[in-house]
Amino acid sequence: MFDRPDLSSEADMTPEAIVADSFFSREEKLARLRDMKHELSRKAADGTASIDAVENRMAAINMAVSEVKHEQADDDTGQALGRMPNA
């Protein structure tokens, strides 16, 4: 059976929790982090979040996006097919 996260708490996940989650694919993680950015921008625009809170949260989201993107670079299964270097 799949190790599916609790959907009731999924919206409350932190950027770090999204990165660490083994259930979501790379694309799902990036989409969730992108949604977090949009929600944060909305809160900043309507004044429901302080500038300091927005800046701190945005920095955490940006770091999480970077980590997710580097996960693929560290994964050997994503090697491109093509000409061998010694061919």
Alpha carbon distance 45, 66 (integer Å)? 25
pLDDT at residue 37 greater than cutoff 70: yes
The per-residue pLDDT for 41 is: 92
DSSP string, 41-85: HHHHHHTSS-HHHHHHHHHHHHHHHHHHHHHHHH-GGGPPPS--T
Average pLDDT along the chain: 81
The per-residue pLDDT for 45 is: 92
pLDDT digits (tens, 9 = 90+) for 21-34: 999 999 999 999 99
pTM of the model: 0.71
Quickly state the pLDDT bin for 75 (edges 50, 70, 90): low
Quickly state the pLDDT bin for 46 (edges 50, 70, 90): very high
Which value, to the nearest 10 degrees, does the dihedral of the CA atoms of residues 39, 43, 49, 54 take? 50
66-83: average pLDDT: 67
